Structure 1
Amino acid sequence: MRLGFLRTIQWKVVVMYMLLILLAMQFIGAYFAREVESYYTNNFSETLNTQGTLLAANVERYFRAARDGKDQSQEDKAGIDNLVYSLVKTGDVQIIDQNGKVISTNRNDKSIIGQRTTQSEVTVALLGTRNESLRIDPRTGERVKVLAVPVKGDNIIYGAVYMVASMEGMYVTIRKIINILATGTGIALLFTAGLGVVLARTITTPVKAMTRQAKAVAEGDFDRAVKVYSGDEIGQLGVAFNHMTIRLREAILQQEEEREKLAGILSNMSDGVIAADRHGQIILMNPSAEDMLQTKMTDVVTAGKTLHDVLRLPPEDEMPLFAEEPLLIEMMLANREIVMLSVNFTPLQQNSGKKGGIIAVLQDVTEQQRLEQQRREFVANVSHELRTPLTTIKSYVEALVDGAVDDAELSNRFLRVTMTETERMIRLVNDLLQLSRFDSQGIRLHKKEIDIGRLLKYAADRFAMQSEQQGISFALEIPKEVPHVLADPDVLNQVLDNLISNAIKYTPEGGAIQLGLSLNWQQKRIYVSISDTGIGIPKRDLKRIFERFYRVDKARSRSQGGTGLGLAIARELVHAHGGEIAIESEWNEGTTVTFWISFEKRGEGR
């Protein structure tokens, strides 16, 4: 009873209007507060990082002089102190040598100079990694930003710069801005309440008049008309109401027209629609459903087939149809094609509330499911490829931490393995980034007229020594007359590098590789082929060999540093030139990869 005033439209509009404004201001306020805090925090961190980096860069020359055997003079120590005071305006700064001892600070308390620091951030920085964190200062209770920057040069860690800066001033500024926003929100709500009352009255007055007229129309009085107060939406509603009374007599004809329209919509829908009666027997199928199921509505209706028969579903008591999620069905059609259908079932209710029938809406999601499967395989492959080197690196680093670092020979071997695995991950990430750019931005080519014969000779020269070291003969076959082509030389070099390195990688000692070029003057194509006498590829794997991360011999590929992305990248680059790439292979006999690009007959060839 206390909220009885909300039964009127006028106050509902006022309250709703205020709530919408309040909700909008809350969202805006929350977003604004988050963005302000993010801006100030990022600005604070960038400033602190800039100061730390600049200070580390300037202090490095003093440490380098000490490492070269020069004793640090009082002038050097004074120079470091001057840098600390001149480059850092706020916060505490400590300059720490490679042994973890403090050699300079801007704090008034100089007793810490010469003492060994135990801060975890400094420990990480002395290992060569920048480290930062947020914490509460136990002395003041303020939030502070901690930054440790390694001082290094020529891959040598000389020491670290340790900085602690208070963030309380920043948060005070943020709170003031939020308070201003809250005050503005309160003023806006008061103004909104007054404006809402005025607006609500302009709506409720004509609505009450239309309510009285609606009651008269319900009693059969079609001769009265609603008084139109204005030309706005409410006035237009009054005009529409008057027009409705005229159109009621034509309702039966309109209903028939709408039924014909519905039949036209069903015939032109891309989704399949099947209607069944309450017994499940099909009474309607649109053309899209006929195409998806490779059947005809007349045959289904004549045979008296049910929805379960056509979609090949279990009995309804075993599998309920009306679920929140669409039902995914895999079917083999009459032409032996397997399709995946997403089916939504909607019950039709009669006026009495009883079940009147079922509407099934079908969508062909075969391609979507295939892409989803490829996505899952891609994520699994990336995770596996990254996990293997990371596990190796972790194992060797743990061994070094446990004491292997004291053994020079063993530690060097561990570090070389760690470096090899790191380079492998870098190659993988670079290949992934390149493919990602292809997918999102396309491939930008810088085409110019080039001599592709000379390009192949250059590629052969690059790999001649590597193949000779592995005991593999390398041959180059180029015709005398080769036309120039309009292409990106850097991109073609990358394609050749990927294909030739694969040939060398999978060709055993004593094998042979041939890089050849041929011409098709009629089709204006230049064919480049790379043939080897390596281990070859099984027939079953040829159709998937250009997929990302697909490798025939995974163990061998990983041992030789392969990422499984080289052929995928090569195919994208060849397609960008309007060409095609293909592969032919016999297991244990060899492989031939061929790609072509078009050329125009111009100028004189070589």
Structure 2
Amino acid sequence: MRRLFKTIQWKIVVIYMLLILLAMQFIGAYFAREVESYYINNFSEALNAQASLLASLLEGDLRTRESKEESVEQMRVDIDNLINNLVKINGANVQVIDQTGTVLSTTEDRSIIGQRTSQPEVTVALLGTRSESMRIDPRTGARVKVLVLPIKGDQIVYGAVYMVASMEGTYNTIRKMNGILASGTMIALLITAGLGFVLAKTITKPVKEMTRQARSVADGDFNSHVRIYGTDEIGQLGMAFNHMTRRLQEAISLQEEEREKLAGILSNMSDGVIATSRDGQIILMNRAAEEMLQVKMENLISKRRTLPELLGLPPEDEMPLHRQTEPLFIEMLLPNREEVILRVTFTPLQHDSGKRGGIIAVVADVTEQQQMEHQRREFVANVSHELRTPLTTIKSYVEALLDGAVEEKELSNRFLRVTMSETERMIRLVNDLLQLSRFDSQGVRLHCKEVDMNQMLRYAVDRFSMFGEQQEVALDLEIPEALPSVYIDPDAINQVLDNLLSNAIKYTPQSGRVVVHAQHLRQQERVQISITDTGIGIPSRDLKRIFERFYRVDKARSRGQGGTGLGLAIARELVQAHGADIEIASEWNVGTTVTFWVPSFRGGSAG
């Protein structure tokens, strides 16, 4: 019930009824008062008129009685006839009293005729003053009007007329009029309630429809519209609401398109994008940033992580990111223990009011770029050093020959042999650099064919047997009697074998041993070749960089052996060009094993 009266419709009906009821009450009170006043005044005037007429008629009889001394009985008969003809019609009780206060005639209790009355009003009237009052009849409890008029002429009071008239008839009439007014008020209220309900419905029905439409719009339904019932203010409100719905639909559609575009751009960006709120908490992160930092945006938002916490930066109060105009390069250790270098650019957001907003951080993984830049600088330094060392040696010996050493045949021959050796070293370096440069620019071009792997390995061992004897290193071959044919570029694989065997023999001390081992991996359809030495080995910290260009574990000893530091890099390029792979395992001061595999022959195509 309380909920019902909270609606506008019922509020309008109730207010409308209260207004009508209030107006009817004011009108009814005024009307009742005027009706009561009218009837009472009318009753009093009629009673006064009758009393005045009766007093004037009785004046002659009483005066005649005094002058002619007419008998009392005859006078009483005349007075009774007069009273019965004039007054009794209204039901008033009348007493005619002479100047001595004796009752001459009455219409009520005739036993009091001839008795003297003690009414104070009569005493006042016999003195020449009329008296009028209202009282309650003690016998009936009814309201009565008491009127006493003196009967006088020529300033002589001959008697008085005492009239008592009941006013219940008048008040009954007033009550009937009030009842009619109350009934009219109730009928008016009922009619008002019906009309108010209809009026309120005409007002609230469009409002209810607009309310339902507003809920539908809030739920995302823009297809329905408010029905227009007219061109009044409510109709204009409905038209404005429909126009607003259309504009809102267009705006939301446009916003969705822009959001989808932005989401598509963010999802397909190679750089990571992170957005923060004003207090630095992360509110948005694209897929690239999640993959780059190996985190999930939902976890960061639920844990209320901030951007400085995510990137491992000092707190905002120590390092305000919105004032950071230059990109930051940050080294991070990811959850998978991978070290990355990130370049982060911060862009502060400003509200229309000028207040500082959040921050947009663009994150780029520059680990490879930094590594390549480091390798480039190291490569340039290594090439410069590798070229400068033999050139310096050649220059020194040439200067010595020019200064006169050429005259001594034995000394000059030794200087020339050194110069030739350094020249050949530079030629090997330049050839290796040209080969790697060709690999980088044109790729590795192979001319694959079916090759007998047994024969190739034996030939490689035979080529380095003399070098092994010179270094006092044993070179052995351990292979099955019959290896399957392989599909390779023989020149490329021979170069790989030459580089690996050369390194194994050079870095193995005297009385050491180098073993070439091969086996057929049938399930993988490949032939695996391993070269194991008992040399100085490679520290574990250097294994992951051993295939980098110019990288040496012991640079002084490597240059003493005449290496360029490019052999393993070239070998890896050639093996990977066959769709194969190469790996190295080593233990310091124990030995090293280099293993690579090549595809076996399958009808003329690579495996």
TM-score (norm 1): 0.53
Superposition pairs of residues 174-185 of structure 1, within 5 angstroms: none
| Aligned residues of 2:531 and 2:594 also touching (Cα < 8 A) | yes
User: How far does the alpha carbon of each residue in 1:295-317 deviate from its partner, in whole angstroms, 9 at most, with x for none?
Assistant: 45455456555433333333466
AA aligned to 1:496 is L
| Aligned residues of 1:272 and 1:362 also touching (Cα < 8 A) | yes
User: How far does the alpha carbon of each residue in 1:486-506 deviate from its partner, in whole angstroms, 9 at most, with x for none?
Assistant: 222211211111111222212
SS at match of 2:511: coil
1:597, distance to aligned residue in structure 2 (A) = 1.1
User: How far does the alpha carbon of each residue in 1:398-441 deviate from its partner, in whole angstroms, 9 at most, with x for none?
Assistant: 33444444444333333322222221111111111111111221
AA aligned to 2:503 is N
| Residues 448/292 of structure 1: CA separation in 2 closer, same or farther (3 Å cut) | closer
SS at match of 2:455: helix
| Residues 455/370 of structure 1: CA separation in 2 closer, same or farther (3 Å cut) | same
| Residues 488/291 of structure 1: CA separation in 2 closer, same or farther (3 Å cut) | closer
SS at match of 2:430: helix
SS at match of 1:517: strand
| Aligned residues of 1:571 and 1:581 also touching (Cα < 8 A) | yes
Superposition pairs of residues 222-301 of structure 1, within 5 angstroms: 252-253=251-252, 255-261=254-260, 264-265=263-264, 268-270=267-269, 271-297=271-297, 300-301=300-301
1:566, distance to aligned residue in structure 2 (A) = 1.0
SS at match of 1:552: coil
Instruction: Find the counterpart in structure 2 of residue 397 from structure 1.
Output: 398
AA aligned to 1:445 is L
Instruction: Find the counterpart in structure 2 of residue 500 from structure 1.
Output: 501
| Residues 437/276 of structure 1: CA separation in 2 closer, same or farther (3 Å cut) | same
Instruction: Find the counterpart in structure 2 of residue 344 from structure 1.
Output: 345
| Residues 302/433 of structure 1: CA separation in 2 closer, same or farther (3 Å cut) | same
SS at match of 1:522: coil
Instruction: Find the counterpart in structure 2 of residue 154 from structure 1.
Output: none
User: How far does the alpha carbon of each residue in 1:444-463 deviate from its partner, in whole angstroms, 9 at most, with x for none?
Assistant: 11122221211122222222
| Residues 428/324 of structure 1: CA separation in 2 closer, same or farther (3 Å cut) | farther
| Residues 387/335 of structure 1: CA separation in 2 closer, same or farther (3 Å cut) | same
SS at match of 1:456: helix
1:377, distance to aligned residue in structure 2 (A) = 2.5
| Residues 385/287 of structure 1: CA separation in 2 closer, same or farther (3 Å cut) | same
Instruction: Find the counterpart in structure 2 of residue 461 from structure 1.
Output: 462
AA aligned to 2:260 is K
| Residues 455/263 of structure 1: CA separation in 2 closer, same or farther (3 Å cut) | closer
Instruction: Find the counterpart in structure 2 of residue 136 from structure 1.
Output: none
Instruction: Find the counterpart in structure 2 of residue 379 from structure 1.
Output: 380
Superposition pairs of residues 108-123 of structure 1, within 5 angstroms: none
User: How far does the alpha carbon of each residue in 1:180-219 deviate from its partner, in whole angstroms, 9 at most, with x for none?
Assistant: xxxxxxxxxxxxxxxxxxxxxxxxxxxxxxxxxxxxxxxx
Instruction: Find the counterpart in structure 2 of residue 211 from structure 1.
Output: none
State, as a whole percentage, how many aligned pairs show the same letter: 64
| Aligned residues of 1:266 and 1:273 also touching (Cα < 8 A) | no
1:342, distance to aligned residue in structure 2 (A) = 1.6
AA aligned to 1:426 is I
| Aligned residues of 1:483 and 1:601 also touching (Cα < 8 A) | no
1:251, distance to aligned residue in structure 2 (A) = 6.5
1:374, distance to aligned residue in structure 2 (A) = 2.6
| Residues 491/320 of structure 1: CA separation in 2 closer, same or farther (3 Å cut) | same
| Residues 471/305 of structure 1: CA separation in 2 closer, same or farther (3 Å cut) | closer
Separation in 1 of the partners of 2:479 and 2:489? Answer: 20
Instruction: Find the counterpart in structure 2 of residue 471 from structure 1.
Output: 472
Separation in 2 of the partners of 1:579 and 1:467? Answer: 28
Is there any run of 5+ residues in structure 2 with no aligned partner, and where? Answer: 1-245
Moved more, 258-267 or 537-546: 258-267
SS at match of 2:374: helix
SS at match of 1:437: helix
| Residues 316/371 of structure 1: CA separation in 2 closer, same or farther (3 Å cut) | farther
AA aligned to 2:255 is E
SS at match of 1:597: strand
| Residues 589/397 of structure 1: CA separation in 2 closer, same or farther (3 Å cut) | same
User: How far does the alpha carbon of each residue in 1:269-291 deviate from its partner, in whole angstroms, 9 at most, with x for none?
Assistant: 43322223445444433344344
Instruction: Find the counterpart in structure 2 of residue 562 from structure 1.
Output: 563
1:362, distance to aligned residue in structure 2 (A) = 1.7
| Residues 345/316 of structure 1: CA separation in 2 closer, same or farther (3 Å cut) | farther
SS at match of 1:476: strand
AA aligned to 2:267 is N
1:594, distance to aligned residue in structure 2 (A) = 2.3
Separation in 1 of the partners of 2:531 and 2:279? Answer: 65
Separation in 2 of the partners of 1:527 and 1:284? Answer: 50
| Residues 420/307 of structure 1: CA separation in 2 closer, same or farther (3 Å cut) | same
- CA root-mean-square deviation: 3.0
Alignment pair present for 1:308 and 2:308: yes
User: How far does the alpha carbon of each residue in 1:540-564 deviate from its partner, in whole angstroms, 9 at most, with x for none?
Assistant: 3333222221222221211111011
Separation in 1 of the partners of 2:272 and 2:256? Answer: 23
Separation in 2 of the partners of 1:281 and 1:589? Answer: 54
SS at match of 2:531: strand
| Aligned residues of 1:266 and 1:286 also touching (Cα < 8 A) | no
Instruction: Find the counterpart in structure 1 of residue 547 from structure 2.
Output: 546
Superposition pairs of residues 19-98 of structure 1, within 5 angstroms: none
| Aligned residues of 1:280 and 1:357 also touching (Cα < 8 A) | yes
Separation in 1 of the partners of 2:565 and 2:386? Answer: 10
1:376, distance to aligned residue in structure 2 (A) = 2.7
Separation in 1 of the partners of 2:517 and 2:569? Answer: 21
Separation in 2 of the partners of 1:344 and 1:324? Answer: 8
Separation in 2 of the partners of 1:502 and 1:435? Answer: 19
| Aligned residues of 2:505 and 2:514 also touching (Cα < 8 A) | yes
Instruction: Find the counterpart in structure 1 of residue 516 from structure 2.
Output: 515
| Aligned residues of 2:520 and 2:526 also touching (Cα < 8 A) | yes
1:519, distance to aligned residue in structure 2 (A) = 1.7
1:249, distance to aligned residue in structure 2 (A) = 9.7
Instruction: Find the counterpart in structure 1 of residue 484 from structure 2.
Output: 483
Alignment pair present for 1:595 and 2:599: no
Separation in 1 of the partners of 2:299 and 2:489? Answer: 58
Separation in 2 of the partners of 1:528 and 1:302? Answer: 54
Superposition pairs of residues 357-372 of structure 1, within 5 angstroms: 357-372=358-373
Instruction: Find the counterpart in structure 1 of residue 411 from structure 2.
Output: 410
AA aligned to 1:307 is L
Separation in 2 of the partners of 1:406 and 1:339? Answer: 62
SS at match of 1:486: strand
| Residues 354/553 of structure 1: CA separation in 2 closer, same or farther (3 Å cut) | same
Instruction: Find the counterpart in structure 2 of residue 576 from structure 1.
Output: 577
User: How far does the alpha carbon of each residue in 1:68-102 deviate from its partner, in whole angstroms, 9 at most, with x for none?
Assistant: xxxxxxxxxxxxxxxxxxxxxxxxxxxxxxxxxxx
AA aligned to 2:259 is E
| Aligned residues of 2:322 and 2:359 also touching (Cα < 8 A) | no
SS at match of 1:579: coil
Separation in 2 of the partners of 1:335 and 1:464? Answer: 46
SS at match of 1:378: helix
| Residues 419/312 of structure 1: CA separation in 2 closer, same or farther (3 Å cut) | same
Separation in 2 of the partners of 1:447 and 1:396? Answer: 45
1:515, distance to aligned residue in structure 2 (A) = 2.5
| Aligned residues of 2:471 and 2:506 also touching (Cα < 8 A) | no
Moved more, 250-259 or 356-365: 250-259
Separation in 2 of the partners of 1:578 and 1:475? Answer: 28
SS at match of 1:459: helix
Separation in 1 of the partners of 2:531 and 2:377? Answer: 32
Separation in 2 of the partners of 1:281 and 1:581? Answer: 47
1:319, distance to aligned residue in structure 2 (A) = 6.2
Superposition pairs of residues 413-452 of structure 1, within 5 angstroms: 413-452=414-453
| Aligned residues of 2:454 and 2:482 also touching (Cα < 8 A) | no
AA aligned to 1:276 is T
AA aligned to 2:549 is R
Separation in 2 of the partners of 1:275 and 1:474? Answer: 63
